[in-house]
């Protein structure tokens, strides 16, 4: 009987070969030999609508099809430069911004970019604003609340239309109060400007007061615009199916940096071995390798392979523990009887403390990160302001874990045992390895403890209606904008991105977070973030993954990849846009 991995790998490679053949036919017809960039990864791409893009798999596609008003300059995390805007001014109070927009820009449809498109885009984001999007933070800036109009009845059409409007061809933003991070928020690809005429023709919201309430909270994941995108970016969509996305250079692109590579294919290849084989043969230019150990053991030093290492890491990740798992989720028997867990299993802090102390961070750093990196005490990149290096990170200590589990649920956890399902993104070797390490250590404490590891599609794990059913997943974050609040609110606030998914309410934590985000005094903010980190450790809300410098491999005939051009705010893991790459 043939090995299942080989079957899946063969299918993936056959699909890739068919896609490449189609692309090569196009190249031969246009004389563009060698101008196809091939990217392979395990994740699916949930959406191509910027209005709901909030994951890196989708983001790397959307950021090359759409453009924002401003963007990050070079490899800076804080310095911004014009993109679809050419200049902007702000009043002394920081509550009004006026943007002069670039002229002569075309969308992929051939429509002209105008102020009406920018106005429509931001209003659409404020109106729809679902839990699966990043629109909460632009809504906070412009409306004073992260909620949409269904959840906050104070939101009116007058507030939305007054927050962003066109004064002739000048785009005007009006904020209820100063937000020092506002410009950086506009650089997030979720604010990518859409072709409003095209969107409305497809049946998207028409942008009017008469219909806005019908669009409030609308799920845009599979929207008409997601299927037929039209941006101003350097690449436009050719086609998408379950296993691949293909794009081609936009001939009408306005920018000085015209794309050198004609075609781009993103191939979903679940099997790591198949991705590595394609990469070593030169059939793929970038792949999701599976972590540092795979790069060093199977890729580095091989013919045609280059590696860029010791790059800044601005992400944070940890195992999150759901304190009220929804019915139909990962409950098993639903009881503490050794065959499942009750829905509020993780509401006992000692259960959480047991899992935290059972995760062997030093071994993970040694085996997965090859000794690079360090333990973290907070789900905030240690390069960001507000990270307190004086706080000790949680230590791997089986005896501490044992004692915590013995206290949990008045001793019932230790006496009766449990069986819990924990989920990771299918195809992610690093996530799987981390969970296997946790499983081994937890189960070694008591033969009645069972930890079952389940692989699931990325799109399933991140959906707001699926997340409450999960008991434990690896929750990770790449910054939307370069400010500590983007991480702290996301991970620790009751109303943040993960709080509602984990059913965590901590009024003391929320008060500290609110105070920190409302002050511009950096020393005071640093002190408040140190208090938040300390409380997070005491409550054991997350099993915090260690920091690790970024590293990736690429084929050495790819140009435009370097430490000086790498910007971790860009979703594509080479830290640059495809238009900046060359292929020899």
Kindly state the average pLDDT of the residues 333-357.
96
Q: Report whether pLDDT(16) > 70.
A: no
Residues with Cβ within 8 Å of 124's Cβ and at least 6 positions away in sequence, in order, are 51, 194, 199, 204, 205, 207, 215
Kindly state the average pLDDT of the residues 147-158.
97
Q: Under DSSP, is residue 319 helix (H, G, I), strand (E, B) or coil?
A: strand
- Supply the DSSP string of 443-471, one letter for each residue: HHH-TTEEEEEEEE-HHHHH-TTTGGG-S
228: nearest Cα among 257, 194, 255: 194
Would you state the structure tokens that stand for residue 516, as one six-digit string?
Answer: 């920190």
Determine contact, residues 514/144, Cβ cutoff 8 Å: no
State residue 475's pLDDT score. Answer: 86
State residue 22's pLDDT score. Answer: 44
Determine contact, residues 503/346, Cβ cutoff 8 Å: no
Kindly state the average pLDDT of the residues 551-574.
94
Cα 410 from Cα 324, distance rounded (Å) = 19
State residue 509's pLDDT score. Answer: 97
Q: Report whether pLDDT(217) > 90.
A: yes
Out of 67-81, 303-317, 462-476, 497-511, which region has the weakest mean confidence (pLDDT)? 462-476
Given pLDDT bands bounded at 50, 70 and 90, which one contains residue 14?
very low
Kindly state the average pLDDT of the residues 342-350.
97
Q: What is the mean pLDDT of the chain?
A: 91
For the chain, the helix, strand and coil percentages under 3-state DSSP, each to the nearest 5? 35, 20, 45
**179-189 confidence digits (pLDDT tens):** 888 999 999 99
State residue 12's pLDDT score. Answer: 39
State residue 495's pLDDT score. Answer: 86
Kindly state the average pLDDT of the residues 197-225.
97
Determine contact, residues 306/554, Cβ cutoff 8 Å: yes
Kindly state the average pLDDT of the residues 552-569.
95
Out of 28-37, 327-336, 435-444, 534-543, which region has the weakest mean confidence (pLDDT)? 28-37
Q: Report whether pLDDT(6) > 60.
A: no
Cα 113 from Cα 380, distance rounded (Å) = 37
Cα distances (angstroms) measured from residue 376 to each of 345, 382, 422: 25, 8, 22
Q: Which of 18 and 451 is assigned the larger pLDDT?
A: 451
Cα distances (angstroms) measured from residue 174 to each of 178, 192, 204, 482: 10, 19, 25, 22
Given pLDDT bands bounded at 50, 70 and 90, which one contains residue 330?
confident
Would you state the structure tokens that stand for residue 35, as one six-digit string?
Answer: 């101008």
Q: What residues form DSSP beta bridges with 421? A: 452
Determine contact, residues 545/221, Cβ cutoff 8 Å: no
Q: Exposed/middle/buried for 425, CB within 10 Å: 0-12, 13-18, 19+?
A: buried
Tokens 């009024």 correspond to what residue? 507
Q: Report whether pLDDT(7) > 70.
A: no
What percent of the chain has pLDDT above 90? 78
What percent of the chain has pLDDT above 70? 94
Other CB atoms within 10 A of residue 257 CB: 11
Other CB atoms within 10 A of residue 104 CB: 7
State residue 478's pLDDT score. Answer: 82
Helices (H), 101-211: 115-128, 135-143, 157-163, 182-186, 196-202
Q: Report whether pLDDT(155) > 60.
A: yes
- Supply the DSSP string of 82-102, one letter for each residue: ESSEEEEEE-TTS-EEEEEEP
Q: Report whether pLDDT(27) > 90.
A: no
Out of 95-109, 188-202, 271-285, 322-336, which region has the weakest mean confidence (pLDDT)? 322-336
Q: Under DSSP, is residue 67 helix (H, G, I), strand (E, B) or coil?
A: coil
Q: What residues form DSSP beta bridges with 266? A: 39, 245
Out of 265-269, 474-478, 528-532, which region has the weakest mean confidence (pLDDT)? 474-478
The model's pTM: 0.76
CA 118: distance to chain centroid?
A: 24
Would you state the structure tokens that stand for residue 31, as one six-digit string?
Answer: 């004389």
Cα 107 from Cα 118, distance rounded (Å) = 12
Q: Which of 13 and 489 is assigned the larger pLDDT?
A: 489
Q: Report whether pLDDT(30) > 50.
A: no
Q: Alpha-carbon Rg of the chain, whole angstroms?
A: 24
Query: Which domains can be identified in the chain, with CATH numbers?
Result: 4-49+234-312+549-583 (3.40.190.10), 67-225 (3.90.76.10), 316-544 (3.10.105.10)
- Half-sphere exposure (CA, 13 Å, Cβ side) for 308? 22
Kindly state the average pLDDT of the residues 424-431.
86
Angle 477-464-54 from CA coordinates, rounded to 5°: 40
State residue 178's pLDDT score. Answer: 87
**43-74 confidence digits (pLDDT tens):** 889 999 999 999 889 999 999 999 999 999 99
State residue 193's pLDDT score. Answer: 98
State residue 500's pLDDT score. Answer: 87
**447-496 confidence digits (pLDDT tens):** 999 999 999 887 777 676 777 889 999 888 888 888 889 999 999 999 88
């Amino acid at each position: 009987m043939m090995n299942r991995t080989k079957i899946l790998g063969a299918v993936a490679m056959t699909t890739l070969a068919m896609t490449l053949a189609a692309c090569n036919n196009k190249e031969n017809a246009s004389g563009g030999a060698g101008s196809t960039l091939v990217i392979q990864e395990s994740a699916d791409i949930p959406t191509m609508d910027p209005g709901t893009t909030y994951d890196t798999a989708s983001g790397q596609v959307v950021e090359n099809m759409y453009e924002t008003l401003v963007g990050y300059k070079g490899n800076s995390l804080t310095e911004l430069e014009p993109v679809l805007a050419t200049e902007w001014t702000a009043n002394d109070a920081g509550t009004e911004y006026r943007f002069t927009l670039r002229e002569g820009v075309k969308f992929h449809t051939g429509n002209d970019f105008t102020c009406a498109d920018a106005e429509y885009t931001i209003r659409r984001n404020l109106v729809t604003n679902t839990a699966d999007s990043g629109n909460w933070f632009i809504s906070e800036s412009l409306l004073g609340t992260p909620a949409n109009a269904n959840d906050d009845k104070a939101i009116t059409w007058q507030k939305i239309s007054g927050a962003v409007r066109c004064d002739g061809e000048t785009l005007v933003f009006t904020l209820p109060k100063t937000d020092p991070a506002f410009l950086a928020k506009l650089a997030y690809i979720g604010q990518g400007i859409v072709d409003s005429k095209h969107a409305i023709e497809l049946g998207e919201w028409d942008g009017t007061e008469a219909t806005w309430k019908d669009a409030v909270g609308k799920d845009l994941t599979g929207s008409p615009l997601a299927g037929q995108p039209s941006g101003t970016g350097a690449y436009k969509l050719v086609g998408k199916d379950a296993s691949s996305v293909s794009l081609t250079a936009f001939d009408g692109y306005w920018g000085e940096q015209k794309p050198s590579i004609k075609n781009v294919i993103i191939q979903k290849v679940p099997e790591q071995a198949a991705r590595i084989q394609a990469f070593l043969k030169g059939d793929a230019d970038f792949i999701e390798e599976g972590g540092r150990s795979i790069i060093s053991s199977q890729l580095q030093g091989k013919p045609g392979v280059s590696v860029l290492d010791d790059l800044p890491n601005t992400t944070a990740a940890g195992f999150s523990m759901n304190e009220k798992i929804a019915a139909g989720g990962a409950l098993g028997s639903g009881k503490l009887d050794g065959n499942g867990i009750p829905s509020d299993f993780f509401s006992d802090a000692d259960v959480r403390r047991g899992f935290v102390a059972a995760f062997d961070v030093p071994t993970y750093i040694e085996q997965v990160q090859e000794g690079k990196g360090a333990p973290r005490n907070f789900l905030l990149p240690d390069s960001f302001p507000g990270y307190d290096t004086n706080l000790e990170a949680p230590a791997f200590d089986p005896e501490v874990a044992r004692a915590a589990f013995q206290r949990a649920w008045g001793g019932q956890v230790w006496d009766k045992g449990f069986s819990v399902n924990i989920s990771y993104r299918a195809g992610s070797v690093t996530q799987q390895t981390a969970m296997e390490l946790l499983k081994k250590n937890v189960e070694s404490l008591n033969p009645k403890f069972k930890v079952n590891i389940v692989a699931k599609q990325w799109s399933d794990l991140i959906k707001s209606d699926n997340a409450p059913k999960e008991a434990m997943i690896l929750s990770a974050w790449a910054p939307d904008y370069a400010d500590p609040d983007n991480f702290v609110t996301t991970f620790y606030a009751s109303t943040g991105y993960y709080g509602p998914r984990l059913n965590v309410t901590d009024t003391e934590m929320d008060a500290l977070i609110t105070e920190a985000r409302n002050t511009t005094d950096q020393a005071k903010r640093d002190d408040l973030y140190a208090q938040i980190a300390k409380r997070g450790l005491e409550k054991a809300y997350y099993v915090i993954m260690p920091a690790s410098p970024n590293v990736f491999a690429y084929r050495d005939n790819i140009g435009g990849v370097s430490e000086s051009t790498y910007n971790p705010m860009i979703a594509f893991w080479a830290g640059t846009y495809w238009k900046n790459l060359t292929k020899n």
